[in-house]
Amino acid sequence: MKNAMILFAFLISSLHLSAQNEPGVKFGLKAGLNYGDNGKIEIRDLTNAGSNIISEDANDKIGYHFGIFLRGNLTENFYLKPELQYTKNSSSYSFDNRKLDYDIQKLDLPILAGVRVLGVFHVFGGPSLQYIVENELDDVRLGDVKNDFTVGLQFGAGIQIGPINADIRYERGFSDNEAEAIDSASGNSIRVDSRPNQFILSLGIDL
């Protein structure tokens, strides 16, 4: 986690310097909230030949993100906007009078293409590359996720007034990506789907 944050700080300074020397390119900071969940949790009783499968959908919870972006104007109304952000996703699972919270910390790199509409409004979309730094499930020692790097999709709409911009977007993970563990309390096998399924509200400022 420490190495990831050092790299994050280095990229902030590098991108800021690059944007200052390129006309038509804006560097900015952003932060906001995520609301949604990850995928299902599956629990198997290993003492009973892997039977008694519990499969429960996640409950939505609020997470957060913060990061940086570059916005390059290709034409008057069309732009490209790569972003780099640290994200914490949260969801929970309720079953058998038990509740488990699941947290994922990751670095996201959305690469968005956008079109300006009526001056201040814009719509956008594109792939989101994700690197999972850490995942935690209450009272359970999870193994690493199957794939540290995954790909998702983001699309949404926003408004830009002067240097201030705000947007709302939807994100969905494409790739199957699970973490597995053995619950020390029960001896059961636990499998958690780490794909995001969430709405994201962001506020940014051009520097």
pLDDT tens for residues 108-138? 989 899 999 988 999 999 999 888 888 777 7
- Nearest-5° Cα angle at 80, 160 to 19: 85
The CATH fold assigned to 2-19+28-206 is Porin (2.40.160)
When pLDDT is cut at 50, 70 and 90, the band that residue 4 belongs to is: very low
When pLDDT is cut at 50, 70 and 90, the band that residue 43 belongs to is: confident
Can you tell me the distance from the alpha carbon of 66 to that of 202, in angstroms, rounded to the nearest whole number? Answer: 9
pLDDT at 42 over 70: yes
How many Cβ atoms sit within 10 Å of the Cβ of residue 21? 7
- Specify the higher pLDDT residue, 106 or 6: 106
45-95 confidence digits (pLDDT tens):
656 655 567 777 778 889 999 999 988 888 888 998 989 999 998 888 877
pLDDT at 177 over 70: no
pLDDT at 186: 62
143-176 confidence digits (pLDDT tens):
666 667 888 899 999 999 999 999 999 998 876 6
pLDDT at 20: 55
| Residue (of 68, 202, 59) closest to 124 by Cα position | 202
pLDDT at 38 over 60: yes
- The answer to whether residues 202 and 34 touch, using CB atoms and an 8 Å cutoff, is no
pLDDT at 8 over 60: no
